[in-house]
């Protein structure tokens, strides 16, 4: 027999595992939602009642909170990190310092909000506890944490102050998190930052204490999050949700009197506002993002650059953008040399920049979007044109999309007419965003469904799964075999858009986005095969099997079965709870059929 698995854990490791699992169950028990079920809207208990340590609740949402100020001698400097035990390397602190302030040329007076993303220093230990991984598995793929990156959510204030030598008060309140919940954290900052600038550190400590009492960020559950007298009501999506819908539960007015802010989304940006200057070319930009092409957004301020980059990444949802993206990137960034070198082709990355210096440094990049100030909702700027890269001058270039790229697909005039009509009728920006998001969603789904259909055909038949052999392997992905399926089951079945779909697929199959998507699908399908293999084992009469085999073979079987259970727990295999219980019962029955000396050894080994 060819059961595979890790070496069994010793009793000490088992005890630690039991404690971790128990803690997970205690914390997550109210939050488990079956596929397709309507999540309950229970109030969560205080985190201390769930056996959590001080700051565990805080760490589930944030890594730390930083205050960045301007020192005449040092320049930008981190003044406060809270909680004080939070770990940041010197390189991470330097990145946070420079990314938390707009470039001097941006001229951001008043309050400005934006977002940045930076690489976690290599070699540092991951600070997030393993329980967060339990929540991560239920998220849509585009909301899963990237262990190599942090997000920084910034509220920057610059106001005249004659009492200061520079004549200006300049300070940023920054939330550092692994979670890509852009809209949620910007809303949190709107609630707390203005008051923080008036009341300083004691207020910040009170904010962090409130966050520490929040329930865990469990997908699929409606959460009530109190912060400094305001209660926010949010729901984090799950991978079971229908794409393009919001699942926030609206309570009756009587039950909802203590709710101050209801967020219909935790992660989405105002898509139409960001695409407004370029919506004539939105389909071409969708192709560039889908194919992982190097793309730079040149904007007048960090808020415009970060919103536009995030909108671009969001436009291929529910596909995840697997390459790097930087909503706000500066010349001081630790990856500046890596991303601006001319000794090799530009990397697959989307950069948002504001410093005019980049117009010269990045002029060799193949695709550049130059935008002006984003207009308030209801106004539409002049539509920019697609221009050849050779026309891009360093400083005085007009807004435009500078590229030599020729789209594979014909432009969809219907969506352009629909959005133009909305502008003429003064349709709210939110409604325009819904139309544009639905259009991108349908375009992405039309593109990905044929790939999903073909990849599903690579799965071995269930009847080929034998409990006494290793699970069968997936068939190999063959590009030419896939291309042949497009004639009958291609995107023409669901999309009205004409063009060179075959050429688009050929380009996509060489992109980082295909590589990331296929690896994720292959992992899911391999785990499904492992789960089916476990179920096949449960259906076997194992007591009859041991009667025909030696003690040595029986002990080997027990150890391998225990390792299968450990694998199911460690890799979160999609097995039914009763399958695991049935297998544990089988293991116990087999052990009891062995001599007492072997029983004692096997009961102490691994998990039962």
pLDDT in tens, 576-599: 878 888 888 888 888 888 887 777
Of the pLDDT bands very low, low, confident and very high (cuts 50, 70, 90), residue 346 is very high
* Domain final position from 149, 181, 215: 215
- Note whether residue 281 is domain-resident: yes
State percent of the chain over pLDDT 90: 45
Alpha-carbon span 326 to 310, nearest angstrom: 9
pLDDT given for residue 203 in this prediction:
92
What pLDDT shows up at residue 123?
62
Mean pLDDT value across residues 74-98: 91
Residue 585 included in any domain? yes
Residue 70: in which H helix or E strand, if any? strand 64-71
3-state class (DSSP) for residue 34:
coil
Last residue of a domain, one of 435, 451, 481: 435
Mean pLDDT value across residues 81-101: 92
- Whether residue 50 is contained in a domain is answered as no
- pLDDT beyond 60 at 357: yes
Q: Exposed, middle or buried: residue 106 (CB in 10 Å: 0-12, 13-18, 19+)? A: buried
Sorting pLDDT into bands at 50, 70 and 90, what band is 246?
low
Q: What is the pLDDT averaged over residues 439-462?
A: 94
Summarize the confidence of residues 324-339 as an average pLDDT: 92
Q: 458 with 431, same domain? A: no
- For 125-181, give the secondary structure using H, E and C: CCCCCCHHHHHHCCCCHHHCCCCCEEEEEEEEEEEECCCCCCCEEEEEEEEEECCCC
pTM exceeds 0.75 for this model: yes
- The reply to whether 464 and 422 lie within a common domain is no
Instruction: Give the pLDDT score at 33.
Output: 30
CA-CA distances (angstroms) from residue 149 to 92, 100, 110, 543, 575? 11, 16, 29, 50, 31
pLDDT higher than 80, residue 217: yes
Question: Is 8 inside a domain boundary?
Answer: no
User: Looking at 255-361, which runs of residues are DSSP E strands?
Assistant: 261-262, 295-298, 324-326, 349-353
Q: What is the pLDDT of residue 398?
A: 76
Task: Find the mean pLDDT for residues 102-119.
Answer: 85
- Is the residue at 519 inside a domain? no
Q: Indicate if 429 and 474 belong to the same structural domain.
A: no
Are 280 and 428 found together in one domain?
A: yes
Range of 11-15, 233-237, 242-246, 541-545 with top mean pLDDT: 233-237
The count of domains in the chain is 4
| Cα separations in angstroms, 187 against 165, 193, 230, 251 | 32, 10, 11, 21
3-state secondary structure of 490: coil
| Residue 266, in any domain of the structure | no
- Considering the domain architecture, whether residues 456 and 559 belong to the same structural domain is answered as no
Q: What is the pLDDT of residue 52?
A: 56
Q: 49-83: per-residue pLDDT in tens?
A: 444 567 889 999 999 999 999 877 778 899 999 99
Residue 369, token pair as written in the block: 């979007």
Instruction: State whether 311 and 338 are in the same domain.
Output: yes
- DSSP conformation class of 268: -
pLDDT at 38: 35
Q: How confident is the model at residue 381 (pLDDT cuts 50, 70, 90)?
A: low
Cβ proximity of 279 and 272 under 8 Å: yes
| In-domain check, residue 6 | no
Over residues 301-328, mean pLDDT: 95
Q: Do 485 and 398 share a structural domain?
A: no
Residue 264 predicted with pLDDT over 80:
yes
What CATH number corresponds to the domain at position 365? 3.40.50
Same domain, 363 and 430: yes
Share of the chain above pLDDT 70, in %: 81
- Best-predicted range by mean pLDDT among 42-46, 93-97, 168-172, 461-465? 93-97
On whether the CB atoms of residues 187 and 263 are closer than 8 A, the answer is yes
CA 594 to chain centre: 49
Residue 253 pLDDT more than 50?
A: no
Residue span of the structural domain in which 169 resides: 56-215
pLDDT at 476 over 80: yes
Residue 23: predicted pLDDT: 37
* Domain match, 380 and 502 both: no
Predicted local confidence at residue 14, as pLDDT: 32
Residue 539: pLDDT band with limits 50, 70, 90: confident
CA angle 413/419/423 to nearest 5° reads 140
Higher pLDDT, 260 or 487: 487
The secondary element (H helix, E strand) that includes residue 480 is: helix 479-489
Find which of 231-245, 290-304, 543-557, 569-583 is predicted with most confidence, using mean pLDDT: 290-304
Is the pLDDT score of 292 beyond 90? yes
Higher pLDDT, 479 or 14: 479
**What is the model's pLDDT at position 334?**
86
The pLDDT confidence band at residue 224, using thresholds 50, 70 and 90, is very high
Looking at the structure, do residues 372 and 305 belong to the same domain, yes or no? yes
What mean pLDDT, rounded, does the chain reach?
82
pLDDT at 395: 45
Which range has the worst mean pLDDT, 188-197, 268-277, 538-547? 538-547
Would you place residue 234 in the very low, low, confident or very high pLDDT band (cuts 50, 70, 90)?
very high
Q: What pLDDT score does 188 carry?
A: 96
Decide if pLDDT at 24 tops 50.
Answer: no
pLDDT of 507: 97
CA distance 37 to 314: 27
Q: How many CA atoms lie within 13 A of 469 on its CB side?
A: 7
Q: Is 529 within the bounds of a domain?
A: no
Of 238-252, 336-350, 428-442, minimum mean pLDDT range: 238-252
End residue of a domain, out of 215, 230, 255: 215
Please enumerate in sequence order all residues whose Cβ is within 8 A of that of 26, keeping only pairs 6 or more positions apart, or say none: 50, 51
Same domain, 409 and 460: no
Q: Are 220 and 36 in contact (CB under 8 A)?
A: no
What CATH code is carried by the domain that includes residue 79? 3.30.450.200
How much is the average pLDDT of 463-468?
82
Domain shared by 182 and 131, yes or no = yes
């Amino acid at each position: 027999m060819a059961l595979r698995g890790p070496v069994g854990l010793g009793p000490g490791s088992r005890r630690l595992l039991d404690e971790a699992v128990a803690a997970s169950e205690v914390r997550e028990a109210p939050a488990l939602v079956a596929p397709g079920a309507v999540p309950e809207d229970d109030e969560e208990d205080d985190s201390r009642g769930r056996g959590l340590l001080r700051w565990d609740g805080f760490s589930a949402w944030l890594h730390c909170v930083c205050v960045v100020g301007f020192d005449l001698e040092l320049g930008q400097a981190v003044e406060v990190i809270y909680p004080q035990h939070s770990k940041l390397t010197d390189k991470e602190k330097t990145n946070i310092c420079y990314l938390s302030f707009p470039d001097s040329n941006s001229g951001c007076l008043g309050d400005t909000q934006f977002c940045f993303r930076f690489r976690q220093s290599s070699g540092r230990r991951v600070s997030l506890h393993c329980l967060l991984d339990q929540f991560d598995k239920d998220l849509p793929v585009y909301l899963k944490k990237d262990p190599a990156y942090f997000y920084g959510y910034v509220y920057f204030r610059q106001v005249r102050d004659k009492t200061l030598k520079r004549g200006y008060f300049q300070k940023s309140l920054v939330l550092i998190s692994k979670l890509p919940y852009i809209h949620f954290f910007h809303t949190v900052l709107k609630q707390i930052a203005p008051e923080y600038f008036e009341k300083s550190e004691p207020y910040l400590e009170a904010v962090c204490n409130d966050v520490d009492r929040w329930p865990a960020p469990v997908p699929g559950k409606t959460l009530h999050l109190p912060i400094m007298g305001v209660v926010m009501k949010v729901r984090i999506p799950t991978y079971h949700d229908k794409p393009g819908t919001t699942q926030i539960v609206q309570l009756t007015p009587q039950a909802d009197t203590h709710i101050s802010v209801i967020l219909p989304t935790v992660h989405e940006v105002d898509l139409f506002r960001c695409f407004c200057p370029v919506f004539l070319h939105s389909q071409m930009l969708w192709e560039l993002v889908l194919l992982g092409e190097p793309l730079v957004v040149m904007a007048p301020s960090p808020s415009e650059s970060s919103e536009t980059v995030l909108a671009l990444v969001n436009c291929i949802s529910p596909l995840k953008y697997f390459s790097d993206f930087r909503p706000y990137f500066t010349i001081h960034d630790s990856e500046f040399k890596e991303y601006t070198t001319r000794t090799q082709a530009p990397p697959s990355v989307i950069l948002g920049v504001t410093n005019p210096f980049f117009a010269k440094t990045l002029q060799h990049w193949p695709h550049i979007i130059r935008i002006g100030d984003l207009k308030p909702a209801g106004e539409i700027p002049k539509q920019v044109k697609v221009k050849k890269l050779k026309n891009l001058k360093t400083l005085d270039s007009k807004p435009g999309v500078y590229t030599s790229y020729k789209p594979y697909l014909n432009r969809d005039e219907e969506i352009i007419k629909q959005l133009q009509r909305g502008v003429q009728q003064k349709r709210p920006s939110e409604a325009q965003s819904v139309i544009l998001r639905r259009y991108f969603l349908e375009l992405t789904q039309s593109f990905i469904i044929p790939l999903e259909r073909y990849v599903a055909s690579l799965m071995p038949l269930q009847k080929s799964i034998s409990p006494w052999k290793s699970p069968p392997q997936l068939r190999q992905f063959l590009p030419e075999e896939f291309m042949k399926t497009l004639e009958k089951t291609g995107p023409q079945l669901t999309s009205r858009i004409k063009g060179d779909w075959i050429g688009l697929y050929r380009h996509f199959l060489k992109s980082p986005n295909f590589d990331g998507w296929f690896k994720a699908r292959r992992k899911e399908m391999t785990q499904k095969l492992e789960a089916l293999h476990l179920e096949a084992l449960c259906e076997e009469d194992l007591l009859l099997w041991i009667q025909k085999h030696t003690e040595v073979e029986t002990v080997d079987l027990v150890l391998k079965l225990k390792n299968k259970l450990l694998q199911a727990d460690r890799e979160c295999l999609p097995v039914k709870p009763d399958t695991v219980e049935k297998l544990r019962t089988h293991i116990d029955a087999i052990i009891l059929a062995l001599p007492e000396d072997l029983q004692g050894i096997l009961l102490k080994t691994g998990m039962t």
